Structure 1
């Protein structure tokens, strides 16, 4: 009997039930638990395990550079955004409405930390999330274009519910970088959400992209449904360096 149950579990990919049914059977027999309650517990364990495996897969595929939550963010050191502001977006309704979030500010004020904390919440809710720096994004598209796979790459970038574009402006993009970025923004416009971080003001994007017209076109779409936080304050990295 045991082997038959294990065989069915293996065939149906019920790995958690396969590992737990013996223990729960003993408990059910000992405590005289009704059959339907026993079955419900088994199915609940399997469902919870699958949800957790899915979350871990989403986390791995997201390419997040680290795992940081709001609990470790020091809002007292900065201006321009409060904990209440970010908590408002933790319900992820902005993703349901295909809206964007933009964090502007000098290096070290926690822009990426805030973006990642929201991304972790999205992943915990089962939403596909993808993280890339602006430079990585453009480079990957240039490579795909050279290989004749640009459209396929664009479709892949359009799929995640939430795309994080980090460090926009940290480095000036290549000559065609603005055109690639425009295609990404256009594909996701009113279809899915973006969180973007940048140490440059919008007026400087023409210089970063090497094309003022492209910069205007990108900002027109990016800002249409967005909330912008302009953050200012001392660098967290310099604070930690001083503490050393």
Structure 2
């Protein structure tokens, strides 16, 4: 792409052959790295591409912006720690988890995003087809696993055991980012078994940063304003 420009510069004496060769090699390496990063992001299965720059921190003053952005240095992955985002629907849990995941993927740390219900269905299907071990190994190959919306739907006791197996395989080997709309005290409702819920939490929370997001849904903020205006008009 830059060949003609560099050939021109050489003919005019603006660049030496060695300078041209060096700069073109640097451009090729940068382009190769960019393609590799894009490939890592693509295979991570993100539901959308959003970065920290796209997040409106002013809408959720309870969040410490410096702390959240700090996770993009990826030291939590090097330290084999977990991140747990807790908050009601629409507060930005998924957005933040994806933003951190994208940063990890860009730095060649194998990353995979999956919705909890999809994960559960895959594990159940694998168990029925006698290939549960291979499916667990599939998830274990990633440096960072992002499990979105744990607790959105209840999980029966038998299925909870499959989730426990996944978390146990992952424990102190790789990092996990989990988003949930359920307070930790309600996880027994999610997993249908108090012992299993506490055992799962014990492994997740052992090396974990817990981020609670308090506030209203960002997705419905405009609708809320519209409803207020309608109420004012009717009064």
| TM-score under structure 1 length normalisation | 0.85
Q: Indicate the residue corresponding to 1:98 in structure 2.
A: 80
* Match in the other structure for 1:178: 160
Aligned residue in 2 for 1:187 = 169
Residue number among 44, 53, 58 corresponding to 1:62 in the alignment: 44
TM-aligned CA deviation for residue 80 of structure 1? 3.8
State whether structure 2 residue 71 is matched by structure 1 residue 89.
Answer: yes
- Per-residue deviation at 1:136? 0.8
Count of aligned pairs: 226
Is this contact kept in 2: 1:79–1:231, CA < 8 A? no
Q: Per-residue deviation at 1:79?
A: 5.0
Question: What is residue 197 of structure 1 aligned with on the other side?
Answer: 179
Unaligned runs of 5+ in 2: 227-235
Where does residue 27 of structure 2 map in the other structure?
45
2:124 alignment partner in structure 1: 142
- The question of whether the paired residues in 2 share the 8 Å contact of 1:105 and 1:198 is answered with yes
Give SS of 2:73's match: coil
- Could you say which residue in structure 2 is the equivalent of 1:163? 145
**Please, what is the CA RMSD of the aligned residues?**
1.9
Task: State the alpha-carbon separation in 2 of the partners of residues 149 and 25 from structure 1.
Answer: 57
1 CA distance for matches of 2:119 and 2:51? 24
SS in 2 for 1:33: coil
SS at match of 1:107: coil
Alignment CA distance shift 1:36-1:174 (3 Å): farther
Structure 2 residue 195 is the aligned partner of structure 1 residue 213: yes
Q: Which residue of 1 aligns with 2:133?
A: 151
In the alignment, the residues of structure 2 paired with residue 206 and residue 63 of structure 1 have an alpha-carbon distance, to the nearest angstrom, of 29
Contact 1:80 1:229 in 2 (8 A): no
Shift of 1:20: 5.1
